[in-house]
Amino acid sequence: MTNENPNGSPLDEEIIDPPADEIPSPDVEALIAERDEYRDRFMRALADAENARKRAEKDRRDAEQYGGSRLARDLLPVHDALTRALEAAGEEQREAAAALIEGVELTLRELNNVFAKHGIKVITPAPGEKFDPQQHEAMFEAPVPGTIAGSIIQVMDNGFMLHDRLLRPAKVGVSSTPAS
């Protein structure tokens, strides 16, 4: 049997055990045991090196994909403030400060483009959707007639995902209306 290292070159020649009818001397038995121990240690070291390589590759990919999560988390309040500013502007303010409102809209659009470029998705639940504890945080629970228990009745803040990880859950109010 010939073993090969990762580069494809032979590690050692075929090892031939002595025939069964020959009785090896104690020295030969000790050498065979030592050889087997070194081979086992070598194979374990080779496996450890391969595992370390795979782990380093995974860590590199994770750092590339999720390395900016702290910065992204710090930008979420900016997104919230711009969104609230647009929601708070009534028709009267929109007419009086059209250029300002347009600037805020453009800034929010650009922030959303940057988020999309880096894999950040906005979680925007709507009233009536089912509460999902993986993406939503219940801020309160209230019995609201005409709703189903466990459905969203109000959205306080949007949530955000970075690729497949939750950056911040959406903050919602949930119906506690008992089933009739």
At residue 129, the pLDDT reads 94
Q: What angle do CA 49, 54, 55 make, to 5 degrees?
A: 95
Tens of pLDDT, residue by residue over 103-128, are 999 999 999 999 999 999 999 999 99
In the chain, the percentage of residues whose pLDDT exceeds 90 is 61
Q: How far apart are CA 163 and CA 3, in angstroms?
A: 42
Average pLDDT, the chain: 87
pTM for the whole structure? 0.65
Q: Which whole number is the average pLDDT over 160-172?
A: 94
Tens of pLDDT, residue by residue over 48-88, are 999 999 999 999 988 888 888 888 899 999 999 999 999 99
Report domain extents, the chain.
69-175
Helices (H) and strands (E) in the chain, counts: 4, 6
Q: Parallel, antiparallel, or unpaired for β 170-175 and 136-142?
A: parallel
Binned at pLDDT 50, 70 and 90, residue 160 comes out as very high
For the segment(s) 69-175, the CATH number from 2.30.22.10, 3.10.20.90, 3.30.300.180, 2.40.160.210 is 2.30.22.10
Tens of pLDDT, residue by residue over 1-44, are 445 555 555 555 566 665 655 666 778 889 999 999 999 999 99
Cβ contacts of 108 within 8 Å, gap of 6 or more: 79, 82, 83, 86
